Amino acid sequence: MGAIEPIVLVHGGAGDIPDSRDPGKNDGARAAARIGYKVFQETNSVLDAVEAAVKSMELDGNFNAGYGSVLTLNETVEMEASIMRGSDLASGCVTLLKDVRHPITLARMVMEKTPHNFLGADGAMDFAAEQGVEILSPPGQLVTEQAKRALERFKEERTQGLSMPGKTEIGQEAPNPGDVGTVGAVAIDRDGRIAVATSTGGITGKYVGRIGDTPLLGCGTYADDRFGGVSTTGHGESIMKFVLAKDIINRIAFKGLNAQQATEESLVEMTKVTGGTAGAITIDKEGNVGIFFTSKKMSWAYQKGTEIHYGIRSGDNFVEKA
């Protein structure tokens, strides 16, 4: 295999995104791709690239990660994230985080500074404090007015019998009112080294203590240099049941599909089987890009060389100079 042209590919979440949100999500996704690519050029590390791309979206209220995370039924923010290196399957996952500015950075610390893959709740928060990760004080600074309004709408609809987190009927759009999208990034370097990172605030109106697909290896995140890397977004309960990220990788590994073919095939089948909608971004070991979603929209962008490609609706592929 010859040298691969490096790519940093990001998504800003899949779902029924209001048209008014398109510009902010497009801008944020393009900015994340640029930032991740710039960091890669400076450090030659795909792990640094995906962490930087996701960190930029954790600070952007257009996305459901870090600042801008959606709320639990108790009007609190509980975040989760995961990161994975494809060369040796090294991984770090965190869940039930509160007031942590950058969950993806804590996930990387779990990978690099503990003997474990996964820390959650009080243990993860204690570890964050030990490592000097930024924990916002006073608490509650990640709660936005937009997230409050989304929770109010959710509770009104639930009273009318229209919304219930984690419930969906076969063939229907999974309900996630007000959600603005899990974020993720996949990167590959010239030698085929791959890394993936994913971060989220979950779904509006979730029970306190609910854990979604994002911190689960094989569901929200997976990277294996032998085959490719995937970050997913969408209805977490459905993604978990289908083990979506690993299913996409398996289609590359065992069926010989490229990134786009595997991503499309897997998502179509997941939605058919579970009724939940989702999206995913994939890069295979040859450096092919896969972008697909069964939800109404998914914001995405990638930088390759001097070009940035981006879109949010099915069929989009806008191009601009980096």
Active site (catalytic) residues: 182
Token pair belonging to 271: 């939605």
Phi, psi of 285 (to 5 degrees): -65, -20
- Residues paired with 278 in a beta bridge: 234
132-145 per-residue burial string, b: 16 or more CB within 10 A, e: under 16: ebeeeeeeeebbbe
Token pair belonging to 290: 């896969």
The candidate with the shortest Cα–Cα distance to 44, out of 195, 185, 184, is 195
Q: Do residues 80 and 96 make contact, with C-beta atoms less than 8 angstroms apart? A: yes
* Side-chain-facing half-sphere of 210: CA atoms under 13 Å: 23
- Which residues in 52-159 belong to E strands, given as ranges? 79-85, 91-97, 118-120
